[in-house]
Amino acid sequence: MNETSAPKLRVATYNVHGCVGMDRQRSEARIAEVIAQLSVDIVALQELDLSRRRSAGVNQTEIIAEQLGWHSHFHPAMRWGDEHYGQAILSRYRLTFRRAARLPGTAPFFCRENRAAIGMDVETNLGTVHIINTHLGLGWRERLLQAQLFTTAEWHAVIAGNTPLILLGDFNSLPGSRPYRALSRHLRDVRRLVRAARPIRTFPTWCPVLAVDHIFVNAALQPLSLTVHRSTIARIASDHFPLVAELGPA
């Protein structure tokens, strides 16, 4: 099979900032438009609201998925009665829930947020792929504990298996940091395996100087490319740019 006909999978991670853009306007439709521009098969989204007063009580995941015509699954990291806040996986392919976990660690005083991870099985053109979407905290101690969770026996069994695995999200961690190194001992950062044409920095959109969004894969996948989607609308829609990877079988 030649390279052009080999099966490929395009995935992205995108912190959507509650669908509130740099113009301070909330627009789920605008986020869906950015995702449509990516030409991806699966996208992991962070910072989504469900039934929150600040977002007019809407289900942001459902609105975005319906505009795209995709499957979706939302998982709350925080709950206040009927109000939920968390992350989601959206896919052209059908999703099967695998696991969800609250991440360990004590949040710092300046950002009292619980953190979570959600794992889904996706039947793709590469076969079954396991996708884990996460959003680590802002305190370095909690981030280290949270990164180490993915190296425990429960999660490592999936990482070390033959099933393709993708761990992606907003890690709030720079390459070379202790949380990043903890993950890199067990998974491969796509950023290190491809030759990027430009710096792979995603935050903030008004001046992207930080690489805090990452895509890791296990040995069953071969990274082909990694790009930051910096369209005009993406520059306004959120404070993060989407990070997009194209993957093939190893």
pLDDT at 162: 83
Q: Provide mean pLDDT across the span 63-80.
A: 97
For residues 203 and 210, is the Cβ–Cβ distance under 8 A? yes
Helix axes of 28-38 and 60-68: crossing angle, nearest 10 degrees: 40
Percent of the chain predicted with pLDDT > 70: 96
pLDDT at 112: 86
Quick check: 18 pLDDT over 90? yes
pLDDT at 108: 82
Tell me the per-residue pLDDT of 170-200, one tens digit each, with 9 for 90 and over. Answer: 999 999 999 999 999 999 999 999 987 778 9
Least confident of 17-26, 42-51, 76-85, 193-202: 193-202
pLDDT at 3: 55
Quick check: 1 pLDDT over 50? no
Looking at the chain, which runs of residues are DSSP E strands?
Answer: 9-15, 42-50, 71-80, 83-91, 95-102, 116-124, 127-135, 165-170, 188-189, 213-217, 221-228, 243-249
Which is nearest to 188 in space by CA: 211, 163, 220, 161? 220
pLDDT at 172: 97
Quick check: 156 pLDDT over 90? no
Tell me the per-residue pLDDT of 137-152, one tens digit each, with 9 for 90 and over. Answer: 999 899 999 999 988 8
Q: Provide mean pLDDT across the span 157-166.
A: 80
Helix spans in the chain (H):
28-38, 60-68, 140-149, 153-159, 178-184, 190-193, 232-237
User: Cα(185)–Cα(191) distance, rounded to whole angstroms?
Assistant: 15
In the predicted model, what is the mean pLDDT of the chain? 94
pLDDT at 160: 67
Quick check: 110 pLDDT over 50? yes
Please count the residues of the chain: 250
Percent of the chain predicted with pLDDT > 90: 85
Residues 6 or more apart in contact with residue 154 via CB below 8 angstroms: none
Q: Please give the structure tokens belonging to residue 137.
A: 């905290």
| CA 217 to chain CA mean position, Å | 13
Quick check: 50 pLDDT over 60? yes
> Do β-strands 127-135 and 165-170 pair in parallel, antiparallel, or remain unpaired?
parallel
* Structure-model confidence comparison of residues 214 and 107, the more confident one: 214
Which is nearest to 139 in space by CA: 129, 131, 149, 147? 147
Instruction: Band the pLDDT of 117: cuts 50, 70, 90.
Output: very high
Q: Give this prediction's pTM.
A: 0.95
For residues 47 and 17, is the Cβ–Cβ distance under 8 A? yes
